[in-house]
Structure 1
């Protein structure tokens, strides 16, 4: 499984619906986490922040709207896009869902193709390189589709790990990533890698980016991690 594969959390209490969604998301090349109720969803998000959450409104005990409210009030999960699924088609319900913090609202029964398009749309916002986007920072251009990087028009050769590191940095310029966060995003949670490995690969990336004399765009934040810009 690719370490930089986007992760989608599907929260749906109906088994059949949950499996259909999961199957279609995995067919799109996405990694899927599954929760059958709101409590399980909150636990999963605390363990591993997904890139996008597909969340059913009507669930026993803890409703989707309450899960959404809790996630959107926490600083560490506020930015995760939530697509709310609901059989409630009235405008007042849609407004309530969006006001609670949902980023999108899909009425049941829905077309799976439409829902996949909406998931891709949210991914485009938070993980542009995962949907083949071109990223730019100052004079650096990264094309995720062709797997090419240039600086001031000059091609830069990067290994797969350095490419994933650079795309992570360029998706969110200015954001400081800790070594642990970079390990999760670039190497994957299931692989044990020493945090010092991150320093080695950041060093290689720095060397590649400054090989032709450009200034170093990467910033080391003592005690916190690394960022670009």
Structure 2
């Protein structure tokens, strides 16, 4: 898409309430360099990969300090554009799906340390987040309290296994509700994350 920021520095899709794209292509044949710089800066703030499309006849006037994630000389084929977009998304965001665990209504962003349930953001302590991430990464696997204590708190932690129970209880109060449970107690053993359906 060619892109132009509005006067507030927002992109057109933000004003319309549309979904954020995976990447942005800036058409440098239709933009002033000042607008292109603002657009690249805004993309960086939003962690959006940006490809600058430069007309062949403007190569001599291109300013390398614009520094987009990739540069495309136009005209080009649709296949090359698609391939470059896939590459730039991978370069900026890494392998798709590797940073987010999604299980039913639960979403865990491992990169941003954010958790949401049914679209509602949930605030967890660091240990609660680690505990949930470990369990959710291995659904169905039963962890003893001792195993959770050593993997989340570390081998040198002096507290007892009761710490695990307290953190699981707090975690459940934040992410679970009637009819929606994620962490299952295995009596006299420990806990497991319920395998999806």
Greater RCO, CA 8 A, separation 6+ = 1
Which entry has the higher C-alpha Rg, 1 or 2? 2
